């Protein structure tokens, strides 16, 4: 059996990101959401993700921005984030192993958890506001 190497450079990040999003695009649950949102803008999204993961894993300032706002209005819930994490972990585990790989999986899980809870929070707040403004 082949020993998997750890994520160690930009080429590894590109491999991780490209293979992950190839799997996402084919997924029946979350694929349509990504495909509808990104349309023909996949290449800029992938470039942004390379920078994001470089910043997260290697402390290289390749990404600046706030990752949550683009996700706030997506039609997603915990089920979608659970699928996202399952695809991420399966994809990364098939290619890499080591401490940085584990860090990537932990960061992705934390991000999915946070995004899921923030989206729920904002939706609940918006619903409460709508419900309270409808009363006189």
List, for residues 30-73, the tens digit of each pLDDT value.
999 998 988 889 999 999 999 999 999 998 887 777 666 666 67
Q: Is 97 exposed, middle or buried (0-12, 13-18, 19+ CB in 10 A)?
A: middle
What confidence score (pLDDT) does residue 52 get? 95
Q: Is residue 47 part of a domain?
A: yes
Q: How confident is the model at residue 125 (pLDDT cuts 50, 70, 90)?
A: low
Report yes or no on 57 lying in a domain: yes
Relative orientation angle of helices 78-93 and 10-26, to the nearest 10 degrees: 130
Highest mean pLDDT among 22-26, 109-113, 128-132: 22-26
| Confidence (pTM) | 0.83
pLDDT at residue 13 above 70? yes
What pLDDT shows up at residue 61? 86
Contact 98, 7 (CB under 8 A): yes
pLDDT at 29 over 70: yes
Does a structural domain hold residue 41? yes
119: left (phi over 0), alpha (psi -120 to 50) or beta: alpha
Let me know how many helices (H) and strands (E) the chain has, helices first.
Answer: 6, 0
How far CA 16 is from CA of 7, 37, 69, 94, in Å, comes to: 8, 21, 23, 10
- Residue 5 covered by a domain: no
The CA distance from 71 to 49, in Å, is 14
Residue 46 domain flag = yes
Confidence (pLDDT) at 1:
65
What is residue 14's predicted lDDT score, i.e. its pLDDT?
A: 98
- The tens digit of pLDDT for each residue in 87-121 reads 999 999 999 999 999 999 999 999 989 888 788 77
Instruction: Determine the structural domain holding residue 46 and report its residue range.
Output: 10-133
- Predicted pLDDT at 68: 62
CATH number at residue 78: 1.10.490.10
Count of domains observed in the chain: 1
Q: Is residue 116 included in any domain, yes or no?
A: yes
d(CA 118, CA 113): 9
Query: What backbone phi and psi angles, to 5 degrees, belong to 96?
Result: -140, 160
**Which residue in 131, 116, 17 sits closest to 74, CA to CA?**
116
């Amino acid at each position: 059996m082949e020993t998997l190497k750890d994520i160690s450079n930009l080429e590894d990040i590109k491999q991780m990101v490209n293979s992950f999003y190839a799997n996402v695009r084919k997924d029946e649950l979350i694929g349509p959401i990504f495909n509808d949102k990104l349309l023909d803008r996949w290449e800029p999204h992938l470039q942004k993700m390379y920078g994001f993961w470089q910043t997260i894993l290697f402390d290289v300032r390749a990404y600046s921005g706030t990752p949550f706002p683009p996700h706030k209005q997506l039609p997603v819930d915990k089920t979608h984030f659970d699928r996202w994490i399952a695809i991420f972990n399966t994809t990364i585990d098939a290619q890499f192993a080591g401490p940085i790989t584990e860090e990537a999986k932990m960061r992705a899980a934390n991000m999915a958890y946070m995004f899921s809870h923030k989206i729920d929070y904002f939706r609940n707040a918006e619903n409460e506001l709508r419900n309270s403004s409808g009363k006189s």
